Amino acid sequence: MKNYLKNIAYLIVFATYFSASAGSFDDFFRYARSDNASGIAELLNRGFDPNTRDEQGQTGLLIALREPSPKVIQVLLDSPKTDVELRNAKDESPLMLAALKGQQDLVTRLIARDADVNKPGWTPLHYAATGGHVAIMKQLLEHYAFIDAQSPNGSTPLMMAAMYGSAAAVQLLLDEGADTAMRNQLGMTALDFAKRANRPDAVRLLSAAVPANKRPGDGKW
């Protein structure tokens, strides 16, 4: 009888724990989406792992960046247990998302938390250049971002700036010594990107920077 009662007690404790854990899981991601910073802080104080992923593989920090939920972001970055390098299914890091959105304060905090400025593949500098966020680009370069980093398809930050960014972003990369002759897997240079995107400002800057013997039409490409 004693063993029976003991087993019943264990089952009750387990069921209570499982129910509370399941509830915490749902609450955590609901709070991340709704910018409920106090709810997140309470869960972390109770020992909830801030690096838990939802069914789609997203962490609370990635969800908060996506929404955005700025107060939740602050709470998660304040927690030393938060791994700022956990990435989404597209291999995007929190630093990349902050750079793309032009959130310089978050870029500063993430770098202070040792976020990887030079992760393999697409990098934060690619993303900052895509958004044309010059101040963030400068910040990343000051922290030794590789200016000619190549994405999985060979694209560089200069190519992204030429196609999607701004003239100021192109100029910054040129001033900092970006290689105008590099090509991606399709054989395209940054100048080709600018022409394809019909970006006359970027075409002008890149044409002035490309040596005459490397321009199209002379058979030396």
CA pair distance 74, 18, nearest whole angstrom: 29
Secondary structure of residue 59 in the 3-state scheme: strand
Q: What does the mean pLDDT of the chain come to?
A: 89
User: How confident is the model over 39-63, as pLDDT tens digits?
Assistant: 999 999 999 999 999 999 999 999 9
How many C-beta atoms lie closer than 10 Å to residue 5's C-beta? 9
Inform me whether the pLDDT recorded for 1 exceeds 80: no
Inform me whether the pLDDT recorded for 214 exceeds 60: no
Note if the pTM is more than 0.75: yes
Residues 62 and 33: beta-carbon distance below 8 Å: no
As a whole number, mean pLDDT of residues 95-116 equals 97
Residues 126 and 157: beta-carbon distance below 8 Å: yes
pLDDT of 210 = 82
User: Percentage of the chain with pLDDT > 90?
Assistant: 84
Pairwise pLDDT comparison (37 vs 216), residue with the higher score: 37
Residue 20, CA atoms < 13 Å, CB-side half-sphere = 10
